[in-house]
Amino acid sequence: MQFLYMRQGGIHSGSLECHPFWVIIKCFASFSLTIADMTKRFPISHHDALLSLLREIRSEAELRQVDLAERLGQPQPYVSRFESGERRLDILELRQVCEAVGISLEEFAGRLEQRLK
């Protein structure tokens, strides 16, 4: 099996046995990881609960994605992406979403905690 390794002078290739002390990066011939595979940190059910709650609070406020996006000063795909899990929200963005739909961040966190139990 061939590997890429780094040493003074650049990147070289060779077998693992020949270069045990260098930083070794395995070449993936037929196997590759997607960004999503590498960044999953939570069980699917927890992530699904979060996404479901994000959609639910918008629906309870009787807002379409485009309406929420307008309140946030963002384009509609912004809302679609965080509701589908394609984009993650940081805590300040989540606070803005909560304010835009008329609930507090504390209420959102409490509702999420109930779903995760």
Percentage with pLDDT > 70 across the chain:
62
Domain that holds residue 85: 44-116
Name which of 9, 35, 38, 13 is nearest 24 in CA terms.
13
Partners of residue 26 on adjacent β-strands: 3
What is the number of domains present in the chain?
A: 2
107 plus 50 within the same structural domain? yes
* Full-model pTM: 0.64
Q: Are residues 26 and 65 in the same domain?
A: no
Residue 37 lies in a domain: no
Q: Which of 6, 108, 117 is nearest to 53 (CA)?
A: 108
Whether residue 51 is contained in a domain is answered as yes
All residue ranges of the chain with pLDDT < 70 are: 1-43
pLDDT score at 38: 36
**80 shares a domain with 56:** yes
